[in-house]
Amino acid sequence: MSQISSGLEWDMRLERELFKHARHFDAIEVIPENFFFAERIQLTESLRRLKATKKPILFHGVELSIGSSEPLKRDHLSNMMRLMEILEPTVYSEHLSMTEASGVEIGQLTPLLWTKELADYIAQKIRYVQASVGIPFLIENISNRFVLPYTEITETNFINRILNSAKCGLLLDITNVLTNSVNYDFDPYIWIDALDLSFVRQIHLAGGARDSDNVLEDSHDQAVWDESWQLYAYVIRKLGPIPTVIERTGNIPQFDSLVQEAKKARQIQETYGLTAMAA
């Protein structure tokens, strides 16, 4: 992938348009679990078509549950690696969350208790994953549906501790930062500044909506918020160009508007990122 780049997320509903307009963006993000069937990988037509695009493929896993206090789900990782052999992704990211708790499949990205002990345990699991997959591995900050009172350290310290210990990358989800900042009333710019940005390897942008309790959600069903673009530009000014993916999985608009968002991410990288690099 070139240094300035923007991509879109694969979705079955978007597939035809995605492949048709592939020249307008640089990479395709894939949720690998969408291709897991019955604990095995099936070489579906979608997989064949994805491979045929020759675009860099970015894996974005949703079910490794790397934040759980249980041991790593090695069978799940094995499936992931089998799919990697087929699609040859350039990077593999997972959410810094859990989707299983004590044998219960939660089915949602669930926040963790931010403690040093857990950070160290997650870093240990990440080291194993990195050694296994052989491609860059990233963790992504999530939008927190709740924050527990028993946290020992801040979220940014928790993330930094994992990054520095595991030496993995960070997939910085700008919209998740904004979502949390609104729901928990903090300054997203200060949050970003507290993060060790040297680990950022990829960025996510999306839009969301408020639920019935007026809680902001990272629901991926709206255009990217203006505030997200502003925070994105702030990060790019600091870091230079970073591969960026627009996430849109609900309320799917005309494909052209997604292409425009991908182009806008490229423009911001060109405008602010190159300046940052020169400085």
Return the structure tokens found at 131: 């050694």
Number of H helices, E strands in the chain: 10, 14
Among 217, 233, 255, 264, the residue binding another protein under the rule CB under 8 A is 217
| CB nearer to another protein: pick between 107 and 134 | 107
Window 69-98: residues binding another protein (CB under 8 A): 69-70, 98
Three-state secondary-structure class, residue 170 = strand
Q: Which is nearer to another protein, 169 or 207 (CB)?
A: 207
Q: Which residue has the tokens 């070139």?
A: 2
Residue 74 CB partners (closer than 8 Å, separation 6+): none
CB closer to another protein out of 109 and 139: 109
Question: Cβ(29)–Cβ(258) under 8 Å?
Answer: no
Distance, CA of 42 to CA of 30 (rounded, Å): 15
- The region of 1-9, 76-84, 101-109, 124-132 touching another protein under the rule CB under 8 A is 101-109
Site string for another protein, 242-271 (x = CB under 8 A): -------xx---------------------
User: Nearest distance from residue 111's CB to another protein, in Å?
Assistant: 9
Q: Cα separation of 65 and 278, whole Å?
A: 39
- Within positions 20 to 39, which residues make up the interface with another protein, using CB under 8 A? 31, 33-34, 36-39
Q: Is 223 in the site for another protein (CB under 8 A)?
A: no
Q: Does 104 bind another protein (CB under 8 A)?
A: yes
Using CB under 8 A, pick the residue from 102, 131, 187, 278 that binds another protein. Answer: 102
Residue list 145-204, contact with another protein (CB under 8 A): 145-150
Identify the CA nearest to 194 among candidates 232, 224, 156, 159.
Answer: 156
Q: Does 134 bind another protein (CB under 8 A)?
A: no
Comparing C-alpha atoms, which of 122, 118, 172, 114 is closest to residue 147?
114
User: From the list 58, 80, 91, 118, which residue makes contact with another protein (rule: CB under 8 A)?
Assistant: 118
User: Pick from 91, 164, 169, 71: which is nearest to 134 by CA?
Assistant: 91
How far is CA 47 from each of CA 10, 15, 21, 259, rounded to the nearest angstrom?
A: 11, 11, 17, 22
The residues that touch another protein, with contacts defined as CB under 8 A, are: 12-13, 31, 33-34, 36-40, 42, 62-63, 67-70, 98-99, 101-110, 112-113, 115, 117-118, 121, 145-150, 208-209, 211, 213, 217, 219-221, 249-250
